[in-house]
Amino acid sequence: MFLTDEQEQLRKEVRAFAEREIAPHVAEWDEKSEFPSAVVKKLGQMGLMGVFFPEELGGAGMGYVEYVVAIDELSRVDGSVGIIVAAHTSLCTNHIMLAGNGEQRERWIPKLASGEWLGAWGLTEPGSGSDAGGARTTAVRRGDCWVLNGTKTFITNGGHADCAVVLAVTDKEKGTHGGISAFVVEKGARGFRPGKKENKLGLRASDTSELIFENCEVPAEHLVGKEGEGFRDAMRVLDGGRISIAALSVGMGRGALDAAVKYSQERKQFGKTISEFQAIQFKLADMATELEAAWLLTMRAAQMKDKGMRVTRESAMAKLYASEAACRICDEGLQIHGGYGFIKDYPAEKFYRDVRLCPIGEGTSEIQRMVIARELLGKAPSRG
C-alpha cells in the first residue's frame, strides 16, 4: 500500500521525533511506570493529538491513513505513547466528534485536538468488559443535571485526563437498546475522581486507572448524543478505535522485527552471524510477511474510513489479524535474541510484554471473530 509523498514525509517526521524524544527514555518510563507528560504536550504541538479532526476545530485536517502512520511510528519506539495518543484521539475526542452537537464540538475538540487537554473514554467496568451491556454505572436526571454513580476500570489516560467521555445506564429496562447514554465529565467535577492506578505487565508508561463517580453532578448539556443512544454511538467509535489498535500492533511488530534483524546481524555463533543461518532467516521472513499483511489490512480499513465507508468488518479483521500477528512477531523476536531476549538490556522483552494488550483491548480477539461472523452472516445488530 503506497503512501503519498506527504504521508511519507509525515512518517519521517514522526519517526525522527520518536527516535529523538521518546527512545532515550523508554526503559526508564517502563521501569518507573512514568507517564510521559512532556512528550504528550509536544505531540499536541505537532498536531498528532488531533490528526484527523478538522482544522477549524484545532485538528491537523488529515485522515485515518495519516493517523495510522503516526500511531505506527510512535509504537515502533514505545507502544505506551502510541496507546496514549490512540485512546485520546480515536475514543474520547472522536466520540464527541461523531455524536456531539456543534456547541459541544466547539467547546471540547479544540482543547483536545491541540493537546491542551488529554482525554479518556470510559466504557469498561469491573463486572462488564466484553459484555458492555452489563454496565452498572448509572446516570439519573435531576433538574438541569445528571447524577452519575459507579466505577469504570482499565481506563487509558484515566489518572491524567482533563475530561472523559463516560457511558452510563439511563434506563435499566432498555439496556443497550436505548438505555445507555454518554456524558462528558471534566476533571475537577464534584464527585468525580481517578481511582486505583493499575500495575501492568506492559505498556507501563501509559496510565491505566479507575474512574470513580460518587453522586457526580454533570450539567445536562454534557450529554453527548441523544439520551439512550450512547451504546450505539460507542460501537461507531469502536470501529475507528479498532483501527487504532491494529496500527498500535503493527508499530510494535515493526519495532520487534527491526530489533531482531539488527541483533541477528551482530550476534555471532559458530564463527558467523546468526543471520546467516537458515533457521533465523526463515523466522525473519515469516515475521516480515505477517507484518506486511497486517499493515495492508490496517491501511485498507483506514482508507475506507477516510472515504466515509462503513468499516465494522474491515476494522475488526485488521484488529484481529494485526494484534495476533504482532504477538507472534514479538515472540519470535524474543526467541531470536535467545537468552538476551529475556533481559531488559535489549528491547525484545518489552515488545513481548507490551504487545500482549493488543488482542485484549477494545474488544478481545474472540469478540472480533463474533463481529466478523455477524457481518458475514448478515446478523449485525441495527444501529438505526
CA–CA separation, 211 and 51 (whole Å) = 26
CA–CA separation, 15 and 8 (whole Å) = 10
CA–CA separation, 251 and 81 (whole Å) = 11
Choose among 34, 14, 20, 18: nearest CA to 203: 34
Q: Of residues 290, 362, 366, 375, which has the active-site annotation?
A: 362
Residue type at position 105: R
Active site residue 31: no
Choose among 270, 251, 264: nearest CA to 80: 251
The label of the residue with cell 511506570 reads: 33
- Residue 136, SS3? coil
List the beta strands (DSSP E) in the chain: 119-122, 138-142, 145-156, 163-169, 180-186, 192-197, 208-219, 223-224, 268-269, 272-273
- Residue 270, SS3? coil
| CB of 44 closer than 8 Å to CB of 116 | yes
| CB of 332 closer than 8 Å to CB of 286 | yes
Q: What is the DSSP string of 177-217?
A: TT-EEEEEEETT-TTEEEEEEP--SS-TTS-EEEEEEEEEE
Positions marked catalytic: 362
